[in-house]
Structure 1
């Protein structure tokens, strides 16, 4: 009884402290300090970011609870069973305790199964691809920049943007306006086909909380709906060579009218027509067809 009373009195200040701490949290802190949630009044960046946020924060809340319980029991055992004055020798030794051993087996199993189930559920939703998207784009990673092809977007033809590698100034800063930019319309379904022109890259838009590898000879896809206008930083998340750190880009989410104007501007610049796999550096991969008049043998 005395031990239970001690535990109850110890739980009161812990619960009070935790309540006060959570009540004083900002939206950024409650969102696990994830990018894209710094502004309390801003909407999620895409239709998937809230799902990722919930999974992330939920997992950390559970892990924090497990940590507090484990630390609490450890400290309690250290205090309750410490050596008293005048005690000698070893304390009574216990060979096993079946209820505790069952608890230590079942609870971690429940946690692992729970984490797997929620992750699989959210991954299934995020990885479901749109079959008939409003916008279809092919993104090519290359050492060390990006090409963006807007498929069948102007008079039934592709228009494209060929990016260049970032060039830092002497102080290490990078001119954001010179970075490759992927333009997307807000509140439209988008499907991006991810390809590599040379080595393995990874397409990562930080505020989207979502990235995917670009592997030579393999096509990956990602589908989402941009739900907030603005400019969002992107980068390659796969070590791809000497200038990997300069393989930067931006995603600019605009209104549908601005998006259509941008596509027309690309066509007016002459960036219209095929800009696909014929421009890949790797021309000896399975499924790659050589341009007319060229041979990849030897």
Structure 2
């Protein structure tokens, strides 16, 4: 038996290593955040709250079920003849109402909070001062940033093995940003783990379709954050990497001026 367990354990380890091969820049997670990375957007706080609430409800439900199972096993265990059935509760109207009402209330509460937060996460006001057109292609990204109606030089990349080598999207902190996602080949998925949000990039979606847009408001947290495609899109899917750099407003203004000057030459 011990000899059989070793190959199985080795196979499981190989499977886990292979499954995580596309995520070579996993952000630090924490048990206090439900194993989610620390968010860098206001919308990420909404996701975090919903996630924590779902786990609390699930653990509470599991605890109640375990207690009921143990209680029934310990205090209602009687030796009976093999042919004798334990007491039945069929056609007990109060109990059957309880079985129906409690799950209905739980599902209704879950649905309310999920629907409320989904509406918040997908809301696009259209008044964001910074707008980014994201073009996904096999196997990289092109970012075209517009600031208060003025478009700066696009940033495009090629397949890379390190997100630091891929195209970099520079954004200011404490600013509302609107993303418009498009592609001309296959389905991709735009994902920055610290956003706690990802959106599929589907070919053929018209520009006026709200499903290809989403909006974030960055927090006052600077740094460079890894991004990747989260949809298996071809042979170089694992190399479809990019980064998002959040900088203070003054540094962002300097970045815009530099790129505008370069495009004018």
Interval of TM-score (by shorter of Structure 1 and Structure 2) = 0.7 to 0.9
Shift, 1:157, TM fit: 4.0
Shift, 1:260, TM fit: 2.3
- Asked if 2 retains the 8 angstrom alpha-carbon contact of 1:233 and 1:249, the reply is yes
Q: Distance in 2 between matches of 1:93 and 1:152?
A: 72
Report what 1:264 is aligned to: 257
Q: What SS does the aligned partner of 1:65 have?
A: helix
Shift, 1:129, TM fit: 0.8
1:253–1:157 distance in 2 versus 1, CA, 3 Å: closer
Q: Which runs of 5+ in 2 are unaligned?
A: 1-28
Aligned residues: 228
Q: Distance in 2 between matches of 1:153 and 1:132?
A: 9
Report what 1:190 is aligned to: 177
Report what 1:252 is aligned to: 245
Q: Distance in 2 between matches of 1:50 and 1:205?
A: 15
- Relative to the length of structure 1, the TM-score reads 0.71
* 1:114-129 equivalence runs, <5 A: 114-129=109-124
Q: What SS does the aligned partner of 1:216 have?
A: coil
- Asked if 2 retains the 8 angstrom alpha-carbon contact of 1:203 and 1:212, the reply is yes
Shift, 1:259, TM fit: 1.5
Shift, 1:92, TM fit: 3.7
Match of 1:241 among 234, 252, 262: 234
Q: What SS does the aligned partner of 1:199 have?
A: coil
Q: Does 1:147 align with 2:142?
A: yes
Shift, 1:78, TM fit: 1.6
1:95–1:133 distance in 2 versus 1, CA, 3 Å: closer
Largest Rg, 1 or 2: 1
Q: Does 1:104 align with 2:99?
A: yes
Q: Distance in 2 between matches of 1:157 and 1:231?
A: 22
Report what 2:213 is aligned to: 221
Q: Distance in 2 between matches of 1:246 and 1:207?
A: 19
Q: What SS does the aligned partner of 2:36 have?
A: coil
Shift, 1:241, TM fit: 1.0
Shift, 1:264, TM fit: 3.3
Report what 1:54 is aligned to: 49
Report what 1:31 is aligned to: 33
1:189-235 deviations in Å (ceiling 9; x for gaps)? 11111111311111111011011111112151111111121111111
- Asked if 1 retains the 8 angstrom alpha-carbon contact of 2:184 and 2:204, the reply is no
* 1:76-87 equivalence runs, <5 A: 76-84=71-79, 87=80
Q: What SS does the aligned partner of 2:250 have?
A: helix
- Relative to the length of structure 2, the TM-score reads 0.79
Q: Which runs of 5+ in 1 are unaligned?
A: 1-26, 37-43, 168-173, 273-298
1:135–1:177 distance in 2 versus 1, CA, 3 Å: same
Report what 2:6 is aligned to: none
Q: Does 1:204 align with 2:206?
A: no
Of Structure 1 and Structure 2, the greater helix share is in 2
Report what 1:289 is aligned to: none
Report the aligned-residue RMSD: 2.0
Q: What SS does the aligned partner of 2:175 have?
A: coil
